Chains A and B, each alone.
Chain A
Amino acid sequence: MSEDVLVRLKDVVKEFPVKTGSGFGRHTERLQAVAGVSLDLKRGETLGLVGETGCGKSTLARCVVRLLELDGGQVIFDGHDLSDASPAALLPYRRRIQMVFQDPYGSLNPRRRVGSIIGDPFEIHAIGTAVERKHKVQDLMALVGLNPEHYNRFPNEFSGGQRQRIGIARAIALRPEFIVCDEPTSALDVSIQAQILNLLAELQAELGLTYLFIAHDLSVVRHVSDRVAVMYLGRIVEVAPSESLYDHARHPYTRALLSAIPAFDPDETREHAAVKLAGDPPSPLDPPTGCRFHPRCPRAQTRCMSEAPSLLPRHGDGPDHLAECHFPLADGETL
């Protein structure tokens, strides 16, 4: 890869101990939330990450910003391996990597004033004097579309969309290079979602940001992403440039997700009706053997039960469109 890779994930694994059973049968099992994820993010691009609730995408996000310790693999940022870095060694990278959280109500301390919340990054990294910080915070508030005069207000005086703007202002305060957006719009009204997405896009153009944009909604991701990765049960099952993924999805799971996007025009006749997947996602405590998707896959064959597929180009795709499937769908083929 000759292109400028800013963030490289190599076989990232994250497990959680889970206590199961009761009495004498009580024991600790290991839940593999992220089961070996490899992804590259190029400088300046937006990589969308989609998947159902519980597929491990938020866990992956927290591993990338090193809020969680990895149980395997590497997170490499701008050539530096952060996987085993100590908190002190991480500090300079914390300036360059930021995160926007899902819940604009939970991610702002209700007892602190907005100005001081947005000023946190400056204080933590000891940048500027108190007066300079205040000016910077007010500039940031203006930049994200908040009234700088509301500096002294508490978070409860703002709407959800405004709060998310506060969270974004805090994230861009130190002019980071890379921002992980963990479902930044899923807690907002649809009308507000578009505003926040546009704000993120404007900031990206202005500041040259790289985004890892997590969502469970393909229609939102399509809007903002250069490339999209689809996650299922802790693994990336397909990753491709947006257009390629939406037009030539190879993995049956991606197809099923795409078919679930509601049509904008009710009169528009769809090529095929929404694909309904059988059953619920299996428990990550006891992932299926072979291909993790096989119990729900309409195309599954015996090979899928025993042999795990790997993430490779399928049906003559370029090296940027990878799918993890033994029997990928060809163009025009339906589920």
Chain B
Amino acid sequence: MNTATVIRGRGPWQLAFERLRNDRAAIACIITLLIAVLVAIGAPLLALLTGHSPIEQYSETGLSATGIPVGPGAEFWLGTDGLGRDVLVRIAYGTRISLLVGVVASGLAVLIGATVGIAAGWFGGAVDNFLSRFMDAVLSLPFLVLALALASLVGPGLGVSIFLIAFFSWASVGRVVRAEARAIRNREYVQAARAMGASNLRIMFVEMLPMVSATIIVYATLLIPAAIAFEATLSFLGLGVPPPTPTWGNMLADAMAYYKVAWWLLLFPGAALLGVTFAFNLLGDSVRDALDPRHDTTIATSAEDE
């Protein structure tokens, strides 16, 4: 009886957290993303520090006499774009859009996907059939073509971008969650909850949701970079957040006219986009490994140390 108090009990989340803490790649990703978040929050501070607004055109100092963008230097740390705007400040403000769209759109997608998936898995039968076919239908849509059509129909904007990205991403989450929920519904603890008189909602969200939460978290971290890239694509094609609001996507689009003389226009926004999406993807892999009880890196590494 007393040994039980000596052995330190660790919950599944605690174990996952410890695995993650021992994963160097995950730590690097988290640091990268923290920097991105700091840049997004501190964008006005950066504007204050450089004395440049993200949308103002500095035609005197920001452009050469012949109207060519100015390269990185003391005045413009990352150079200026074709209209004489500060690339650094614009990237910082673009980070806000990218992170906002990434987090909100994938959050929305995960919310819808998890709810639909759990409902389909729990109710089964006709409900499952209907929801599953609906998810199949959404997944089979040519999303870029449809997204472009819808965006041009409604008119581009931040809200439209978020909605479009969420709409085209939730079904993949829903399908995976449904498969897991179907496996869980016949477990004895779900039967026990039913025998106690638990309602459908309670079984779905108290008993089943914690079991699929690992999948949901992994999908969320992997959906964020996809959503960021998707937003950049929409902006690049001129159907995302409309100018002059800076986004990484429309900065890259602007760069297309100048990249032969101004490499910094392509390099810095591109690097920001690549860095953040890469970090999210890598972090997603690490989170998946950390949440997978069969993939126990804490035991493996501690055994190697000894």
* A residues neighboring B (CB under 8 Å): 62, 65, 67, 90-91, 94-95, 97-99, 101-103, 106-113, 120-121, 124-125, 147, 150, 153-154, 156-157, 167, 170
Contacts and interface: CB of A to CB of B under 8 A. Distances in A.
A107 B192 contact: yes
Interface in B1-58: 1, 4, 9, 11-12
Given A101-B191, A101-B192, A154 B210 contact: no
B196 A106 contact: no
Contact of B194 (A67, A97, A153): A67
B189 A108 contact: yes
Given A67-B195, A120-B198, A121-B196, A103 B12 contact: no
Contact of B198 (A107, A124, A150, A167): A124
A154 B12 contact: yes
B195 A99 contact: yes
A103 B188 contact: yes
A126 to B, nearest CB: 11
Contact of A101 (B1, B4, B188): B188
Nearest to A109: B189
Nearest to A180: B195
B192 A95 contact: no
B192 A170 contact: yes
A138 to B, nearest CB: 16
Contacts of A120: 193, 196, 198, 206
Contacts of A108: 189
A112 B213 CA distance: 12
A107 B197 contact: no
Interface in B178-212: 187-189, 191-199, 202, 206-207, 210-211
A147 B193 CA distance: 24
Contacts of B188: 101-103, 106-107
Contact of B197 (A90, A103, A157): A90
Contacts of A67: 191, 194-195
Interface residues of B, number: 23
Q: Which of B1, B191, B213 has the most CB of A within 10 A?
A: B191
B197 A124 contact: yes
B201 to A, nearest CB: 11
A156 B14 CA distance: 13
B191 A94 contact: no
A102 B188 CA distance: 9
Contacts of A121: 196
Given A111-B213, A112-B210, A94 B197 contact: yes
Contacts of B210: 109, 111-112
Q: 10 tightest CB-CB pairs across the interface, nearest first?
A: A94-B197, A111-B210, A106-B188, A107-B188, A157-B9, A109-B189, A99-B195, A154-B11, A101-B188, A91-B197
A67 B192 CA distance: 9
Nearest to B207: A109
B114 to A, nearest CB: 15
Given A94-B196, A121-B196, A124-B198, A107 B189 contact: yes
Contacts of B9: 153-154, 157
A124 B202 contact: yes
A124 B201 CA distance: 11
Contacts of A106: 187-189
A15 B207 CA distance: 28
A98 B191 contact: no
19 contacts: A67-B195, A90-B197, A91-B197, A94-B197, A99-B192, A102-B188, A106-B187, A107-B192, A108-B189, A109-B189, A109-B210, A110-B211, A111-B213, A112-B207, A120-B198, A154-B9, A157-B4, A167-B192, A170-B196
Contacts of A103: 188
Given A106-B188, A124-B198, 15 more contacts: A67-B194, A90-B197, A97-B195, A98-B196, A101-B191, A101-B192, A102-B188, A106-B187, A107-B191, A109-B211, A110-B12, A124-B202, A147-B1, A147-B4, A156-B12
Given A109-B207, A111-B12, A124 B196 contact: yes
Q: Which of B195, B198, B199 has the most CB of A within 10 A?
A: B195
A107 B194 CA distance: 12
A125 B206 CA distance: 15
